[in-house]
Structure 1
Amino acid sequence: MKFSVLGPEGTFADAAAKAYLKTQPYTDVQFDYHPTFDQVYQSVSGDNIGLLPLENQLDGYVSATLQRLQVADVTEIGEITVPVNFGLVANAHQLSDIKRIYVQFKTEGQCQKLLQKLPTAQIVTTSSNMVSARKFQDGLAGDAAIIPQSQMANQSATLKLDNVADQDNNNTRFVIFKNQPANLEQLANLQLTTNQFKAPFFVTPAMNDKPGTLYEILGHFARVNLNLITLMSLPTKSQLGEYSFYIEISGTRDQQEVIFTTLREMTAMYNIHLLGFYAD
C-alpha cells in the first residue's frame, strides 16, 4: 500500500503518518512524499491512503486542507495528533544579525514571539519545514530557518535556539483519507472499533442570506444531543457572501443511528458533503 504525505522525510506529516501506522494492522507500506497539498491529494488512488494536516493548536485550522476537503470526493478513515515544536538555526552570531529567515507557512503562525524579535529580517515562506532546512543549508551568511526541533542536531549553524514555538504544549491534528466519495449509507453500517466516533462534513445552505440559517443548522444536532466540536465557515467561491459550514460531530456508539438519521433529514434542506465517519 502507498501512503502519501507531505515530504520530504522528517516532516511532522511524516512523523504523524508513522505514528498512525503503529495503531493500524497495515503491512508492506510504501511512503510517497510530495511537496504540496494538491500533489498529496492527487497521488492517492484505489486502496492507497493519504495524510494532510487539519488543525494546529496554536495557529488553528489549515485553510489549504479545508479548501481541498470542501470540494474533494474523499473518505476520511481516521486521524492522528502529534506534538510539534521548533528550533532556530542561523548563520549569525546573534538574532540582530539575521537578514533572512526561512519558515513554513503554518509554522510562522506558531512562532510569532521569535519573529517579532527580528523586525528587519526578510521572512521567506516555504512549503514545508524540511524545505526551510534545505534552503538554510544552501544559504548565505545572515540566513536563518525555523525547523522541527527533532532536526536541530542534523544542522551545522553558528547560532541555535531550541524550543522557539510560542508555547511548549503544541500539537497538530492530521486526517487520513482515501480518494473515494464518502457514502452515507455505507458509513451508517460501519462497525466501530471504539465507543467514540467522529463525523466531519460540510453543510451549504440553499440561501445564505436568510436570517437564522446557522441557528437552524445547529438546532438539528442540539435537538438530538449530538456534540458539535468544530464549526468553521468557508466561502463557496461561487459568489460573494455565499459560505459553507465545516462541522465535526462527536458521539458514542449508541448515537450512530442518530447522526445518520439527522444527516438524511438535513439533505432535504441543505447540500451535505459528508467526509467520513470513523472511530475517535
Structure 2
Amino acid sequence: MPPSPSPTRFAYLGPEGTFAEAALSRAIATPEGRRDPQPSVAAALGAVRSGDADAALVPLENSVEGSVPATMDGLADGEPLVITREVFLDVAFVLAVRPGTALADVRSVASHPHALAQTVGRLRDLLPGVTPLPTTSTAAAAAAVAAGQVDAAVCAAIAADRYGLEALFDDIADHAGAVTRFVLVQAPGPLPAPTGNDKTSLTAVVGDRTGALLELLQEFAVRGISLTRIESRPTRQRLGVYSFSLDCEGHVADPRVGEALAALHRMCDDVRFLGSYPRADGRDNRPVGDTSSDAAFADAETWLARVRAGEV
C-alpha cells in the first residue's frame, strides 16, 4: 500500500491561543498548510471524519488531571480514526485580565475544566469567594475576558498575548511541571512504519462476566507486552459493560503485538484499533525476554508451518 500523502489541512481544539495550537506547531514543523481552530474536541474529530481536515490535534491526557473524556469517547465512537503521532507539551498557566484590571476588581474567572482543576488551590487563595466558570478551552476563556464577559482567565501566556491581556500572576498551577499529551488523528490508512520504540492504542469492550478484564490483560502479559495506560469508560449501553482504553508498547506490525490484538478480537465483544505510532515521551520500550521477542514468535511460526506441512 503506498504511503498516505502528508496532511496539509489541520483542525485543532481552538480558538487560537490554546495549548493545542502550541502542540500542533510543535508537531508540524512547517508553517505551510491550513490550520483551523474548532470549538470542541468533537468538532475537531468531526472535521477529519467529514473530510474538511486531513488531521486533528486533540488532547488525550494530562499528568495531573488524567484523561480527557471527550477525546477518549470521540475516538471510541463514530467512524474509525487512528492516531499517527503523539506530542507532549509542558503546561503552565497565567491569570490573565484586561489591561488596568487589579486583583480586587476580579469578580469572575473562567477556563477549561482541566485548567481549573489544576489551579483550584491558587485560585482559592487569590480569589476567595469567586466560583470559577467552565469554558470549552483556555483560549476561549481568554477571548471571553477580552470581550468583557468575565474578568479573568486561567490560560496559556500565548493566549493572553493573542487576546491583548496581561498576566496578573504567572505559574499559578497547584502542581508545577504538568504535561499534557496530545495526539494527531487521521482517517485510517497506511500506518507509520515501526521504529522499534512505538506505542499501539486501542479500545476493547469486554463482556459482563467474571474474569473478563483479567483475560484481556493476560493476552499482553503472556507475550511480554507492557501496558503504558489502561482505563475504563462506560459504553452507555447498560450498567456493568465497559470499554477499556489502553496503550501498549510495540507496533501492530510486531508479531507479538499483532497476535495479542488478534486474541482480543476473538475474546472481546468489540475491539477498535486506534493506531501504532512512534513513542514521544522520552522513554524506551522495556526489554523483552528471549521467549517473547519478535524473533521467537517468528521462529515459532516457521516451526508450526513445517508441522502443518508434514515436515516434522
| Superposition TM-score, scaled by structure 2 size | 0.78
1:252 Cα offset (Å): 7.3
Give the match's secondary structure for 1:276. Answer: strand
Give the match's secondary structure for 2:171. Answer: coil
Between 43-52 and 257-266, the greater mean CA deviation after superposition: 43-52
Structure 2 equivalent of residue 93 of structure 1: 102
| Cα displacement string for residues 160-183 of structure 1 (whole angstroms, at most 9, x for unaligned residues) | 011101122111111111133x7x
**1:119-268 matched pairs, under 5 angstroms:** 119-139=128-148, 143-153=151-161, 155-156=164-165, 160-180=168-188, 191-192=193-194, 194-205=195-206, 207-208=207-208, 210-251=209-250, 256-268=254-266
Structure 1 equivalent of residue 271 of structure 2: 272
| Cα displacement string for residues 82-126 of structure 1 (whole angstroms, at most 9, x for unaligned residues) | 11111112465336x532111112211111211222341132111
Question: In the alignment, does 2:79 pair up with 1:108?
Answer: no
In 2, distance between residues paired with 1:66 and 1:237? Answer: 14
Structure 2 equivalent of residue 37 of structure 1: 41
In 1, distance between residues paired with 2:155 and 2:31? Answer: 31
Give the match's secondary structure for 2:250. Answer: strand
In 1, distance between residues paired with 2:158 and 2:147? Answer: 20
In 2, distance between residues paired with 1:27 and 1:162? Answer: 29
Structure 2 equivalent of residue 18 of structure 1: 25
How many pairs align? 264
Structure 2 equivalent of residue 55 of structure 1: 61
* Equivalent position amino acid for 2:90 in 1: P
Quickly say closer, same or farther: Cα 1:252–1:245, change in 2 above 3 A.
Answer: closer
Structure 1 ranges of 4+ moved more than 3 A: 90-95, 150-157
In 2, distance between residues paired with 1:42 and 1:156? Answer: 31
In 2, distance between residues paired with 1:9 and 1:94? Answer: 25
2:60·2:182 contact (CA, 8 Å) conserved in 1? yes
Between 60-69 and 142-151, the greater mean CA deviation after superposition: 142-151
1:202·1:272 contact (CA, 8 Å) conserved in 2? yes
Give the match's secondary structure for 1:18. Answer: helix
Gapped runs of 5+ residues in structure 1?
none
| Cα displacement string for residues 32-86 of structure 1 (whole angstroms, at most 9, x for unaligned residues) | 1111111111111558111110011111110111111111310111111111111
Give the match's secondary structure for 1:44. Answer: helix
2:65·2:117 contact (CA, 8 Å) conserved in 1? yes
Aligned with residue 4 of structure 1, among 1, 11, 33: 11
In 2, distance between residues paired with 1:31 and 1:166? Answer: 32
In 2, distance between residues paired with 1:138 and 1:196? Answer: 46
1:153 Cα offset (Å): 4.9
Quickly say closer, same or farther: Cα 1:156–1:272, change in 2 above 3 A.
Answer: closer
2:18·2:159 contact (CA, 8 Å) conserved in 1? no
In 2, distance between residues paired with 1:204 and 1:262? Answer: 15
Structure 1 equivalent of residue 70 of structure 2: 64
| Cα displacement string for residues 228-272 of structure 1 (whole angstroms, at most 9, x for unaligned residues) | 01110000001122111111001379x811100111122111121
* Equivalent position amino acid for 1:218 in 2: L
In 2, distance between residues paired with 1:115 and 1:241? Answer: 37
Gapped runs of 5+ residues in structure 2?
1-7, 280-312
1:224 Cα offset (Å): 0.8
Q: CA RMSD in A?
A: 2.3
Between 113-122 and 74-83, the greater mean CA deviation after superposition: 113-122
In 2, distance between residues paired with 1:84 and 1:162? Answer: 12
| Cα displacement string for residues 191-213 of structure 1 (whole angstroms, at most 9, x for unaligned residues) | 32x221110001111x22x2221
Quickly say closer, same or farther: Cα 1:176–1:156, change in 2 above 3 A.
Answer: closer
* Equivalent position amino acid for 2:267 in 1: M
1:149·1:163 contact (CA, 8 Å) conserved in 2? no
In 2, distance between residues paired with 1:122 and 1:167? Answer: 20
In 2, distance between residues paired with 1:18 and 1:241? Answer: 41
1:104·1:132 contact (CA, 8 Å) conserved in 2? yes
Give me the identity figure in percent: 27
Quickly say closer, same or farther: Cα 1:27–1:119, change in 2 above 3 A.
Answer: closer
* Equivalent position amino acid for 2:172 in 1: V
Instruction: Name the larger-Rg structure.
Output: 2
